[in-house]
Structure 1
Amino acid sequence: MAEPLHCLIVGGGPAGLTAAIYLARFHLDILVVDDGKGRAESIPCTHNHAGYPDGISGKELVRLMREQAQRYGARIERDYVTRLDQTENGFCATWGSGSVETKTVLLATGVKNRRPPMDEELHDEALQRGLIRYCPICDGFEVTDKNVGVIGSDSRGVAEAIFLRSYTPHVTLIAPDTALKVTEEDKLRLKDAGIECVDGPAQAVAISDKCIVVDTAEGHYTFDSVYPALGSDTHTQLAEQLGARLSEQGCIGVDARQRTSVPGLYAAGDVVIGLDQISHAMGEGGVAATTIRNDLAKEQPLLR
């Protein structure tokens, strides 16, 4: 039987590929399994990732990282891992076209943004054109002084609207369902910030050359960009299969070195609570890879 891998990385985004580069350069036998649906690849252009003064698309960044990992011997397979089980020597991972034994696993499975109710093809076009945006930390600068809508309610929508108010005075908060669900304190904060509030339900119904129109119970609203503040779904299923501890926020719980509560299982990137930023995910990928190498070396000091 083949020797088990040193590490299986599930997820080929910035966190997983950074770890792959590190681990391959540690001369370890690794495999990356990625389903090709990572959030990073949908980013039209990021301008706050250091080293790219003119910006870089998420797709191009991931392509370059993948190429770099493969240059040092990392293998990358396009598939979706459906099951993860513990074995006597580590773990067994299963996906559509096969399975593998591995001593350690790094989960870099990320999250998925909850989308506003609109046609998928229309949504993707709007995203590529900057009419829909998901990260005000990443691209708030790009909406400076523009007319911006935030689809959201409760504390999440309020926080995003107030954050964007530091970039533009033209911010409207729209309830996704019926009436806005905000506290009296939040109502006062929104009023003091000059943020218009609109009851829903809200639906992005049309895009034109330069704007996006949101249809609400109170009429049509036209914006330069819309931010859906609807939360996200964290891909923790594999961690849950192994009984790993989850945080109160529903992310995979890790220590300062990216170890989960299950020995040999690590996690990095957006699946671990953090900033949901490319650079932050990369940092966690580097920490996780170094921890994996050092933990393996405790049992096998000469890994090569």
Structure 2
Amino acid sequence: MASKTHLSFLFLLPLVLFSISAEAQLQVGFYSKTCPHAEEIIHKEMIEIMKVAPSLAGPLLRMHFHDCFVRGCDGSVLLDSTKNNVAEKDARPNQSLRGYGVIDRIKAKLEQACPNTVSCADVVAVVARDAVWLSKGPFWPVWTGRRDGRVSIANETRQLPPPTANMTRLISMFAAKGLGIKDLVVLSGGHTLGTSHCTAFSDRLYNFTGMNNLNDVDPSLDKNYIAKLRLKCTLTDNTTLVEMDPGSFRTFDASYYKYVTKRRGLFHSDASLLTNSFTKAYVEKHANGFTSEFFQDFSESMINMGNISPLTGSQGEIRKKCNVIN
């Protein structure tokens, strides 16, 4: 793996220039005076965590995505439900999220070093970056200064793009968050990490149009791949996990795009990338190499996503524990 310094040299300058206009309220090095070792503390903990649980990289990246698409990047996905409210983490799209213990562990270390200083929302953002980098992916400067929200509502997870979405719906849902079609196809590349429950795609194998028979399959999914997936998944299986990027689901690379071109992306949303001229061209290009370009694009799109409606200044709070408001 390339050194962190080398990766910083490759990506830092163009990304900083790109991001100056992206979100003036956030900044690289926000904690340089108030908690100068914050990212070092996070990075050290992530190295230890990833040594024993490398499969958490995908879930931790996904957590940042699910946080930012609902109420912006405010840590609301971390809040527990209460007697009077069902929170985001208990909504159906988030019931498969993992890695909350990682955030709690790192937040506790930061509270020891710099009490009441580093937000849970920023922890989620930096952890996502380190999860990617420690999986042999790119390193990018995380713009920090987010504050934590006090509201988390399960029904608002409808804003999360579902795995069943077609291209029209995906473009609309990303646009609602200020993200473009390039961000859409680039961030889809995050499916190179992690696994999925069968229920997220099993209708493509058995019940695509509601006929509920073995011939009722998604024609956009490779027939041989359907046969392989059926050996793992039943229509109602909600426990089995399937690799989204078979063979390298713990390594951040561009091989996801190779699977999509072969009509072997797990989700409807993966297959939809081949239905739009721009996204199809991007998928096909990066299926044939250009990994360094994809890494740079992914870095830029992650910064864009991390800038979705942050709470800053006196908004929100700095939670002492990430699962409850102060």
TM bucket (normalised to shorter chain) is under 0.3
Give the number of the structure whose residues are more often helix, by fraction. Answer: 2
TM-score of the pair, normalised by structure 1: 0.25
TM-score of the pair, normalised by structure 2: 0.24
Give the number of the structure whose residues are more often strand, by fraction. Answer: 1
Whose RCO is larger (CA < 8 A, sep 6+)? 2
